[in-house]
Amino acid sequence: MEWIAAKLALGRLGVRPQTLYAYASRGRVQVRADPADPRRSLYNAADLDALIERRRRGRKRAEVAAGAISWGEPVLDSAITTIVGGRLFYRGRDAVRLAQTESFEAVARLLRGGDGVRPKRMAPAAAPGAGDLRARAFAVLAQRAGSDPPALGRNPAALAAEAAGLLDAMAAAVAGAPGEGPIHLRLARAWGADERGADLIRRALVLMADHELNASTFAARVAASTGASLAACVLAGLAALSGPRHGAAAAAVRALLTDAARDGPEAAVAARLHEDRAIPGFGHPLYPQGDPRAAALLAGFSPSAAAAALGRAAQAHTGRAPNVDFALVAMTQAIDAPADADFGLFAMARTAGWIAHALEQVRSGGLIRPRARYVGPEPEA
């Protein structure tokens, strides 16, 4: 990663010092102290190049909209989550610090804005249906989406109770049975994890509770903008999460671990690079210096020898640090959880974020309805 002095950064951008400082304070350009002179600052050259490219594209509305679709400019206002300087914040609070002490339920309430304390006499979720973890989650949400009322115009207290009930229902689906107590303990009991394993589950749930406007969260917000029920919004999020480029990415990490066990970690990584295939579980566009969620989770346990060897090989070949997908697979293997526990943890955690974003979207009152840029045949006369 290239770091350049302020004078070079100003020349490259063609801006005044105040503008460069504003970019840095808003997290658009990473900055660090110069090791040779702590009084001076160095700026991330890649971030500067990205700013230059945005300006080169111009500010035409169509071009800006197209650039926003894939890791581009922000497209809507939110007070829930942000990523600044390689760190993840929930309503201004560092997610890594929250994961050290807070319960998943407390963080879910924080994401919702402090509302939604579980009603004391709320009936526990019904027993989930048959099938594997993923099938149970879809079935529970689909049943509720077909019967729960729309979210628009609802009393905030009623929506808060509904939000708490949805977390409880999802916990029952992931665990395979209804239960009482903190969700991380319910999952630990279901998977036979000890006290240490239960705390790792808690940390994972907190670290993955939300991640700004990712694909599944955007899907949930689109559903919420129509006034759909909270259950329908969570179902939309789960549908997007199930894809191999999102929540199911952990399956690709498991497949890579299988290849590494058969061929050796060096050979498994080299083969994928030779075939121009991505190395799943390493690198993240929003964290060029490493995913803090992965680092925080991996610090809580010792990965298996096989996972550790794969991590070393992947980093040596690609220069990329593990992301949360790799950390999640290594963690669930370390506590001997079921094979689908990584997806279950991801879905359980992200349910808190989907609900928070759905509620925020409902309060905003706006309908998310982008336009398509037509590139098909010429319309008939």
For the record, the structure tokens of 104 come out as: 């998943």
The active-site residue out of 210, 325, 342, 357 is 325
Query: How far separated are the first and last CA of the chain, in Å rounded?
Result: 55
HEC sequence for 275-314: CCCCCCCECCCCCCCCCHHHHHHHCCCCCCHHHHHHHHHH
DSSP letter, residue 32: E
In this structure, are residues 134 and 239 in contact, taking their beta carbons and an 8 Å threshold? Answer: no
In this structure, are residues 220 and 237 in contact, taking their beta carbons and an 8 Å threshold? Answer: yes
| CA dihedral angle for residue 372, residue 377, residue 379, residue 381, rounded to 10 degrees | 170
Sequence-distant (≥ 6) Cβ neighbours of residue 176 within 8 angstroms: 128, 133, 136, 190
Residue 284: active-site member: yes
The active-site residue out of 284, 291, 342, 357 is 284
Active site residues: 284, 325
